[in-house]
Every structure is written in C-alpha cells, then in structure tokens.
C-alpha cells in the first residue's frame, strides 16, 4: 500500500470517540479555565460605564423687525432662511462656540466621588463649589482629595509621589506652565470660604446650602486642560437638520446627565445671545456715532441759547416786531427745505461711517439706507452683503489664507470704492442745493437791514439758535429710531424643546455575548491538545 493511501485511510478512520475522551480528560483544567474566563468577563461587564445621550430642539425663524423701512427690508438677512440655518449650524459646530460654552460652565473643572470601581462624575450633585481665583494657575490632571472633618472644615490632599513638578493652567489666559512641587503627599486643613493660595491651586470652597454633610465624606476635584475639554465635548456633540427644514436637533453624549442638560441649554442660550448681538451691531454703532454728534451740537446749542437769553435781558426785547414776520415766514420755509436736505446728508454720513468703520457686512444696518433714494447706493450695498455672507460661510470651513478670501475682499473693496464715489456725488448734489437755499436765505436776510439795529441783531442770534436746535433735534430723532430698532429686535432662534432630565436611561449594549466568547476561549486550547 502506498503512503498516500495510508494517509487517506488514517483520515477516514479518525477516532472521534477517542478524541472526545482525550478532551474530557482535561475536565479539571477546562473547569478552571471556564471559571477564570467567566470571572474576568463578569468584572469587565460590571466595570463598564455607559454614557447618556440627550437632545434639545430649536427652530430658526426669519423674524424681521417690523420697524424696518421698505428700503432696508430688501437687503436685511440676505440669503433667506435657508442660508441662515446653515450659518447657525456651522456656528454650533464651531470650536469657538464650544469654547464659550465650556468657559461659561467651567467644565474644565470636574467634581468626582469614589465609586465601587472608579471615580464618578457628580456634576450638579456636588455639595460644594470651588471658586477659582482670577489669573491663578491650577494643577492639571491630578485628582485633589477633599475630606470633610466637619461641616465647615476639610483636609486638602495632593498625591505628588515621584513627582517634582506639575503642569498647571490659567483658565483666564489659557496659559500652561510647569510648577515645581515637593515630592510626596501634600496635606493641609482649610475652612469653607477660606482663600487657598498655593502655587498649583488658588480659590476657595463654598457650600451649597441644599446639601447636608456627613463626617468623613470624601470628594475629588480635578482640572482638565481647556483645549482637551473643548475637544471632548465638540467630538461628542452633533447637530441634526433635515434638508430645507428650520428645525435643528442638538445631540450630546456624556456620562453625566446633568452636565448634558446644562451644556445643551447653555449652548442654545449663547447662540441666541450672540445672534441678537450681531443683529444689533449696527444699531449700537449708529447710537455711538450719533451720541458724538449730539455732544458737539449740544455745546453749540447751549452757547447760542445763552447768547439769546443774555441779549434779550440786556436790551429788554422779548418778541419780534410784526413787520419782520413776513420775512421770517419765507426764511423758515427755506430752512425747512434745507433741513430735509441736511437730514438726507446725515443719513449718508451714517452710511459712510458704517462703511469706514466696519469689516463685517453680513447683517447690514437696518436703518442705514433710510432717507437715501439713490438706486446705485442700494444696489452696491446689496452686492457687498452678498459677498460678506459668502465669506462668513466659507470662513467656517476654509483656512483664513485661502485664495477665495482674497478674491472676495478685493471685490468688496472695489464695491466700497464705487459706493464712496456714489456717496461723494450725492453729497455734492445736496451741498449744491443747500448752497442755493442759503443764497436765497441770505438775500431775504439782507432785507432785515431796513429793520432797527436791535431787531437785526436779535434775528441773527435767533437764527443761529434755531439752526443748532433743528440739527440737534434731527440727530436726536435719529438716535430714537436706532434705539427703537435695537429694543424691538428679536432673536431668530426659538427654543422648541430644551434639554431636560426626564429619566432617560443609559446607552447600554448587550454584554452577554462576551460570556459565549469566554466559553469558546476556555475550551479551545484543550480541543487543540486533544486533536
């Protein structure tokens, strides 16, 4: 018989029964392996910490201010509701936004308590708060043990075993630096509300009155590096938005449910606040500009009023004679026309001031074009807004040195140059009309030369006073308009469903499959030995 036939015969005559008995002969070792592997899997399962996932919902509305004029409503919120939704989604996902949320809630500071297997985050349930000192360096990544000896006294303990320096961070400036420490265990007793001034920890502990202490309670405080904290929240955060839908669903996963609730609600609050501030930006700048003009005109008005009163008292003149009333009426009609032109001039000055002092035109000033009928100005402003909105959206996804930004900036600069030329031309036209009216007023005022000298001088003083008064009232009215628009602005963000703890469970998974793998792992070595 050949070797090949012998091998085939051996394979066909494999003694399965003998194989089973050989495997069973290792039953003691199999039982021990089963116990060991199941024990390991059991402890892995009970030590597994599952997170929570909560959501909140907001709706993006196109809430335009009802006080906007027809001119401005054509350009305000350029891009419509769809563009606004995408802009806010990008804002919510941006690192800058999450930095504001982490800073607002001080989430770089973790409150912990020792559990059965690991330290548990007790954010929202901690019986005390740590108030950080301004511009202080706080130790990073080392748990700080707090052991209460009484309701008002506690031991502060740092484990610096085999450590000669620690990494600290200032959470105001975000500066990180190394601080030398003495190797060993640092322990010191403090009182509640007592200032702690250590090179690696500065601040004080305050009690939350709704909690009661038990003697011997132990807690831990741990600072995490700011950028790492922001990254961890940003990576576990998501925004869901169906196409063409104004509804945004904010989703966050974390091991502490109270932290999720606070984070999502603060995230919405900061988005709402920043959006309204941006919406009011022009009104705020306009008010500041007008306040400067009001202060200047008010000084002139006060001086002229004092001169008028002093002259009347000195010469005992309190009224203008009847013969000057006709001339005064004609002059006042011309002055009213002149004030209308000056009102348009002030509107153009406000627009020019905004163009000179602003870099962001995504939300162009609502009252900026009020009183301006020049079509070229409105058209160029609309083009600037379109380019600014495009730039703002691209900034959230491209680097700042991308070539497209240079192209957009060049186009905006060119449009601003054309706008300044338009404004200059309109100003020349207005100035020419005002000059013509001034000539007619001057001609009529020459007629006062036939009036008595005292009345001529009184007329001159009164004209200066009335001119400053009209200018002052004009600026005051403009300021009132800006104040009214700012006060009546409402946010475009409406909270539909805030984040809330309603007893949601953890994101658990079935871990029993691990026991099946443990059984296979226990049997496999002995199966191979038996074979």
Q: What pLDDT is stored for residue 509 in this prediction?
A: 63
Give the pLDDT band (50/70/90) at residue 156: very high
Output the furthest CA–CA distance in the chain (Å, rounded): 153
The vertex-343 CA angle with 340 and 346, nearest 5°, equals 155
13: helix, coil or strand?
Answer: coil
Convert the pLDDT of each residue in 437-455 to its tens digit.
Answer: 888 877 776 665 544 554 5
17: helix, coil or strand?
Answer: helix
**Nearest alpha carbon to residue 4 among 513, 103, 12:** 12
Question: Sign of dihedral through CA atoms 495, 500, 502, 506?
Answer: positive
365: helix, coil or strand?
Answer: coil
Lowest-confidence pick of 56-70, 184-198, 355-369, 393-407: 355-369
Could you give the CA distance from residue 449 to residue 215 in angstroms, rounded to a whole number?
A: 98
Give the pLDDT band (50/70/90) at residue 78: very low
Q: Which residues pair with 192 in a beta bridge?
A: none
**Mean pLDDT along residues 323-336:** 69
**Mean pLDDT along residues 499-511:** 77
Convert the pLDDT of each residue in 399-452 to its tens digit.
Answer: 667 778 788 888 888 888 888 888 888 888 888 888 888 888 777 766 655 445
Q: Which residues pair with 189 in a beta bridge?
A: 155
Token pair belonging to 418: 């054309």
Q: What pLDDT is stored for residue 425 in this prediction?
A: 84
**24-31, long-range: CB within 8 Å, 24+ apart, which pairs?**
26/526, 26/529, 26/530, 29/526, 30/522, 30/523, 30/526
Lowest-confidence pick of 88-92, 163-167, 252-256, 325-329: 325-329
**Mean pLDDT along residues 253-268:** 93
Of residues 455 and 152, the one with the higher pLDDT is 152
The vertex-18 CA angle with 13 and 24, nearest 5°, equals 150
Of residues 506 and 15, the one with the higher pLDDT is 506
Kindly report the length of the chain: 531
Cβ neighbours, 10 Å, residue 76: 18
The structure tokens 């996963």 sit at 253
Residue 1 has pLDDT above 50, yes or no: no
Reported in sequence order, the residue ranges of 3-125 that DSSP labels E, i.e. its strands, are 52-60, 109-114, 119-121
């Amino acid at each position: 018989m050949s070797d090949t036939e012998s091998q085939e015969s051996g394979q066909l005559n494999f003694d399965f029964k003998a194989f089973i008995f050989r495997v069973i002969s290792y039953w003691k070792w199999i039982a021990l392996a089963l116990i060991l592997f199941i024990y390991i899997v059991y402890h892995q399962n009970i030590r597994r910490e599952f997170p929570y996932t909560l959501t909140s919902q907001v709706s993006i509305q196109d809430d335009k201010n009802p006080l906007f004029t027809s001119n401005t409503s054509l350009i305000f919120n350029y891009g419509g509701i769809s563009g606004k939704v995408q802009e806010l989604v990008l804002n919510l996902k941006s690192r800058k936004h999450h930095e504001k949320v982490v800073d607002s809630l001080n989430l770089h500071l973790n409150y912990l308590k020792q559990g059965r297997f690991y330290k548990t985050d007790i954010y929202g349930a901690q019986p005390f708060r740590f108030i950080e000192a301004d511009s202080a360096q706080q130790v990073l990544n080392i748990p700080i043990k707090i052991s209460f000896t009484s309701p008002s006294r506690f031991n502060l303990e740092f484990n610096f075993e085999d450590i000669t320096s620690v990494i600290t961070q200032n959470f105001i400036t975000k500066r990180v630096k190394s601080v030398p420490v003495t190797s060993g265990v640092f322990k010191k007793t403090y009182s509640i509300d007592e200032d702690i001034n250590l090179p690696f920890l500065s601040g004080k502990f305050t009690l939350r009155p709704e909690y009661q202490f038990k003697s011997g309670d132990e807690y831990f405080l741990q600072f995490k590096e700011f950028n790492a904290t922001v990254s961890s929240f940003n990576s576990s955060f998501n925004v869901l938005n169906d196409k063409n839908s104004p509804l945004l669903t904010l989703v966050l996963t974390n091991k502490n449910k109270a932290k999720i609730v606070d984070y999502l609600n603060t995230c919405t609050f900061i988005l709402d606040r920043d959006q309204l501030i941006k919406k009011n930006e022009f009104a705020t700048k306009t008010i500041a500009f007008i306040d400067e003009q009001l202060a200047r005109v008010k000084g002139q008005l006060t001086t002229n009023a004092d001169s008028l009163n002093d002259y009347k008292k000195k010469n005992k003149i309190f009224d203008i004679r009847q013969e000057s009333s006709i001339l005064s009426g004609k002059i006042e009609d011309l002055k009213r026309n002149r004030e209308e032109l000056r009102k348009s001039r002030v509107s153009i000055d406000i627009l020019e001031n905004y163009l000179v002092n602003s870099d962001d035109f995504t939300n162009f000033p609502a009252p900026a074009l009020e009183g301006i009928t020049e079509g070229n100005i409105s058209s160029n402003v609309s083009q600037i807004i379109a380019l600014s909105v495009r730039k703002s959206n691209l900034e959230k996804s491209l680097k700042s040195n991308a070539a497209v930004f240079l192209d957009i900036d060049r186009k905006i600069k060119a449009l601003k140059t054309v706008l300044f030329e338009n404004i200059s031309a309109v100003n020349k036209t207005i100035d020419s009309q005002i000059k013509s009216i001034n000539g007619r007023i001057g001609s009529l005022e020459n007629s006062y030369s036939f009036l008595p000298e005292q009345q001529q001088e009184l007329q001159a003083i009164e004209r200066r006073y009335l001119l400053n008064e009209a200018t002052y009232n004009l600026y005051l009215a403009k300021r009132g308009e800006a104040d009214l628009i700012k006060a009546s602005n409402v946010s475009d963000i409406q909270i539909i469903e805030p984040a809330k703890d309603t007893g949601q469970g953890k994101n658990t998974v079935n871990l029993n499959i691990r026991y099946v793998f443990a059984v296979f792992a226990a049997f496999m070595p002995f199966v191979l030995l038996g074979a």
